[in-house]
Amino acid sequence: MSDYSSVSDAVPDPDRIVTQQDFGRGLTLLRNRAGLTVRQVARASGLPASTVGDYFSGRHLPATGQAGSLHRILAARGETDPARLTSWTDALSRARRQPGKRPALRASGDVPYRGLASFEREDAPWFFGREKVIQRLFELDLGASLPLIVVGPSGSGKSSLLRAGLMAQLTGPVALFVPTATPAADFAAVMAGLPEPAGVAGTSGSLGSERRCVIVDQFEAVFTRCQDEEQRQAFISAVGELAETTTVILALRADFYDQALRYPVLAAALQARQVVLGPMTADEVRRAIVEPARRAHLEVEDGLVELLLRDPDPRTPKTGRPGADEPGAHEPGALPLLSHALLITWEHSSTGAITVAAYLASGGISDAITRTAEGVFGRLPADQQQLARRLFLRLVHVADAAPPTRSAVRLTELTPLGGQDTEELLGRLVDERLITVDGHRPDHPRRAADRLAAAAVLDRYRAG
């Protein structure tokens, strides 16, 4: 058992870090010593505030191979000594190796579900449910000299699709980029390490060929992280020019569709080369539940899949006639929450099966939403907590004689609550999967939670 919690906050010692929670406490001690907020560290390191906040809280760790992100966070708080950076990198490795409730399986890497985190390239063997979309991407003729844009609502699985579903199957040179505050310069640095293209403009081919491929994930970050319009235009122009000789695939969140249309190369790509990532069907969700368990040599108890398909409720059909409305199995924003509930259920299952009893004991999807909301709320500064209370009360309709229900609200109606602060808070809540933005009505955010979760979350916010 780690004794790191007893270390004085005067000198955080990475050599005494053992667990993921230790790592989060150590980073927090450094931040407190520097007198910085989470948002200040995020801006200085060029990372999303939600991601940095998760590292501080101990909810998540930087991914394997992302020591550079950790070093930028440390540098933002004055931790630049090479020996200390090495100690922190070693601490990250120890924390990632720390076993949990299923040590035998974790030691072998056979963790069947990924929780709230996106699937990475190395997680490809565990990625199921999007085979049809992946097949479509591989069948496309990629010699059109325009980027291919995958569009979907927040939480629909765009990052997982491109990283685990697509990148792992590419045979040619591939690079992955997420826009930063200075996207043009950083993109040029990434491209400098990629081999020169073998093909020429307009050359036909497919993703199965040896063509080089560049994937820009979270493309909407060029509108949120980059505040310099010249940098933004230079980056978008570079992406368009690159598509003339290279397969370029962009992942765009649906609520940024209108902003992308303001740039001619993106408008042309959306007109001619767009793939929409909608809700998963019931059969696709079933594969996402059952196949990872099968690969980990686990059984899924009868009735659990059906329970998961009903919790949270799928989109309500508009008519009572069978087949009149073909709903997806879940709202897009609920998929990460489903994955999180499955991970917790797996951790609570002590036998060779994932059971209904373990799912119910874990609290299910509703509890996953509530705990996520509580964690985000607890990391907000006091003024942001007050704004969050007003925001959630505005997004949920509360009546004395009935349970709370979600309420669709135009973004323009929410801005007066706190101006720019509201926009920043909404962005974070979207990143954390607590709010989704309707892809069909891009000016409407909506709650990803069901009624039970809404009630539990509201109890905390109203009490405060």
pLDDT digits (tens, 9 = 90+) for 93-113: 777 654 434 433 443 457 898
Domains defined along the chain, listed by start: 4-98 (1.10.260.40), 130-276 (3.40.50.300), 282-360 (no CATH), 366-463 (1.10.10)
Closest among 429, 426, 415, 310 to 359, alpha carbons compared? 310
Which one has a higher pLDDT value, 11 or 10? 11
Q: So what's the pLDDT on residue 102? A: 41
Q: So what's the pLDDT on residue 439? A: 44
Confidence category of residue 320, pLDDT binned at 50, 70, 90? very low
Please state the length of the chain.
Answer: 464
Distance between CA 306 and CA 382 in Å, rounded? 41
Tokens representing residue 87 in the block? 């100690």
57-71, 88-102, 302-316: range with highest mean pLDDT: 302-316
Q: Is the peptide bond before 312 cis (omega within 30 degrees of 0)?
A: yes
- Cβ atoms of 124 and 165 within 8 Å: the answer is yes
Confidence category of residue 3, pLDDT binned at 50, 70, 90? very low
* pLDDT average, residue stretch 76-92: 81
* pLDDT average, residue stretch 221-235: 91
Which one has a higher pLDDT value, 284 or 141? 284
Q: Which long-range contacts link 241-244 to residues 24+ away (Cβ below 8 Å)?
A: 242/191, 242/214, 243/145, 243/146, 243/147, 243/269, 244/145, 244/201, 244/202
Residue 445 bridge partners (DSSP):
437
Tell me the backbone φ, ψ of residue 86, rounded to 5 degrees. -65, -40
**CA dist list (Å): 439 to 199, 231, 255, 279:** 36, 27, 6, 11
Give me the percent of the chain exceeding a pLDDT of 70: 70
**CA dist list (Å): 121 to 65, 161, 207, 332:** 12, 10, 16, 21
Q: So what's the pLDDT on residue 231? A: 93
The residues, ordered by sequence, that sit 6+ positions from 2 with a Cβ below 8 Å of its Cβ are 16, 17, 18, 19, 22
Residue 27 has pLDDT above 80, yes or no: yes
CA within 13 Å, CB half, 402: 8
CB atoms closer than 10 angstroms to residue 362 = 20
Q: So what's the pLDDT on residue 385? A: 84
pTM comes to 0.62
Which one has a higher pLDDT value, 445 or 270? 270
pLDDT digits (tens, 9 = 90+) for 152-199: 988 889 999 999 999 888 888 899 998 988 899 899 988 888 887 765
Average pLDDT, the chain: 75
**CA dist list (Å): 161 to 36, 173, 224, 286, 431:** 35, 18, 22, 17, 17
Which one has a higher pLDDT value, 423 or 5? 423
Tokens representing residue 13 in the block? 């010692």
